[in-house]
Amino acid sequence: MTNAQESVGFIGVGYMGHGMAKNIVEKGYALTVMGHRNRAPVEDLVARGAKEAKTPREIGAASSIVFLCVTGSRQVEALIRGPDGLKAGLKPGSVVVDCSTSDPNSTLALAAELAEAGIDYADAPLGRTPKEAWEGTLDTMIGASDALFERLKPVISTWAGRIVHIGGTGDGHRMKLLNNFVSLGYAALYAEALALSQKVGITPKRFDSVIRGGRMDCGFYQTFSRWVLEGDENAHKFTIANAFKDLTYLEAMADAAGLVNPIGNAVKNSFGVAMAAGGAERYVPMLTDYIGRLNGTDLTPANQN
C-alpha cells in the first residue's frame, strides 16, 4: 500500500542510506533513488519498488521530500546547486533533509538559499550503525521548525526508532558535532591510554580487565576496543577521514561561536596523525595503531597476547 501524501527522494544509498531507503519504500512511500557507484544497493531498492533517477534535478522533480545521506557539506552543496542540482528540480513546498554530518554554517546558508525558492530545509543527522539502519531503529536529532518536524516525522519514523527534535534548522548538525566530539574524544583518549599502557608493560587485555565492567566502561569503549582486543575490523565502520572532517566542522562551529576549544583541537590532531600516515580509509578504532606507532609501540591486534 502506497502512502500518497509524500513522494520521497533519496541520494546516498551507501552503508547507512541503503537500509534507510529500504525501510522508506517497504513502509509504503513512493521512492526515487539516485544512481550510486556501488550498483548493488540501487538494484536492491529498485527490486523492492523504488525508481531510479540519473541526476539530483530528476530526484527533485519527482519528490516532495528528499533525503541526503552523503559525506558532508561539500557534497551536499554540490548536490543542491548547479544546473542539474536539486534546487533546479524541486517545487515550492518541497523539503530537503540532510542526514549527513555537515557544517552548521553551510546548513544555515543552504536553508536561506532554498527558502527564497519556497523550499524547506531540515537537518537530521544519524546515530548508531548500518545494522540499525537496516532494522529501522536509528537515532536521529532533527533541526526543523515545529510544523516541518511534524510533517517529516512519519517518514523519518520508517527508519528511526529514537527521534529527538533538538531545535531549529542547524541545531541537528550542531548537536551531531557535539555528540561526535564526545565519542571521538573518547577514541583519542583510549588510543593514547592504550599506547601508554603498552609502553609501561600493561597489555591491552590487562588494561581491559580493569576498565570493562567498571565506572569507566561504556558502549563506545566496548565497540572501540574490539579492534585492538579481537581484530574485529567491522566493530565500528566509521572512517578516520570522516572523523577528521567532523572535527574540522566542530572547530569551525567553535570559531563561529567565539569559543576557545583546546581539547577539540587536540582530538582533531590525534586523527590528523593517522591521516598523515595514510590511515584515511581505515576505521576509528584503528587509531590505536597510529598512536602506538608514533610512540614506538605496536598495538596492532596481531601483536596482542
pLDDT digits (tens, 9 = 90+) for 231-245: 999 988 899 999 999
Cα dist from 53 to 36, 43, 56, 58, 70, whole Å: 10, 12, 8, 6, 17
Residue 159 sits in the same domain as residue 46: yes
Residue (of 194, 211, 189, 208) closest to 300 by Cα position: 194
Cα dist. 194→229, 235, 264 in Å? 11, 18, 20
Q: Write down the residue that cell numbers 566530539 correspond to.
A: 181
Instruction: Give yes or no for a contact between 99 and 140, defined as CB atoms under 8 angstroms apart.
Output: yes
Q: Which of 22, 176, 245, 268 is catalytic?
A: 176
Are residue 120 and residue 217 in the same domain, yes or no?
no
- C-alpha to C-alpha distance for 253 and 59, rounded to whole angstroms: 31
Task: Say which CATH number the domain at 110 has.
Answer: 3.40.50.720
**CATH number for the domain including 271?**
1.10.1040.10
Q: How many CA atoms lie within 13 A of 183 on its CB side?
A: 21
Q: 188 and 112 share a domain?
A: no
Is 199 considered catalytic here?
A: no
Confidence band, pLDDT 50/70/90 cuts, at residue 279: very high
Split into its structural domains, the chain has a count of 2
Reported pTM: 0.91
Question: Do 276 and 204 meet the contact criterion of CB atoms below 8 Å apart?
Answer: no
Do residue 155 and residue 201 come from a single domain? no
Query: Among 138, 168, 198, which residue terminates a domain?
Result: 168
Average pLDDT, stretch 91-102? 97
Q: With 50 as the cut, is the pLDDT of residue 221 above it? A: yes
Q: Does 83 share its domain with 184?
A: no
Strand partners, 10: 33, 67
Does the pLDDT at position 3 exceed 70? no
Mean predicted confidence (pLDDT) in 131-159: 97
C-alpha cell at 11: 541520494
pLDDT tens across 166-175, in order?
A: 999 999 999 9
Task: Tell me how far apart the alpha carbons of residues 39 and 239 are, in angstroms, rounded to a whole number.
Answer: 21
Let me know whether 144 and 271 are in one domain: no
The reply to whether 22 and 138 lie within a common domain is yes
The Cα–Cα gap between 153 and 201 comes to 52
Last residue of a domain, one of 168, 198, 226: 168
Q: What is the DSSP letter of 283?
A: B
CB-based contact 168:145 (threshold 8 Å): yes
Residue 1 is predicted with a pLDDT of 38
Is residue 36 pLDDT above 80, yes or no? no
**One domain for residues 151 and 180:** no
Number of alpha carbons in the 13 Å side-chain half-sphere of residue 10: 32
User: In terms of domains, do 193 and 153 share one?
Assistant: no
- The torsion angles phi and psi of 123, rounded to 5 degrees, stand at -115, 135
- What pLDDT is attached to residue 37? 79
Query: How far, in Å, CA of 274 to CA of 281, rounded?
Result: 10
191 in the same domain as 134: no
Q: Above 70 in pLDDT, residue 155? A: yes
d(CA 209, CA 218): 14
Q: What is the residue range of 160's domain?
A: 3-168
| Same domain, yes or no: 18 and 60 | yes
102 and 45: one domain?
yes
* Domain boundary pick from 124, 147, 168: 168
Q: What number of helices (H) and strands (E) belong to the chain?
A: 14, 9
When pLDDT is cut at 50, 70 and 90, the band that residue 126 belongs to is very high
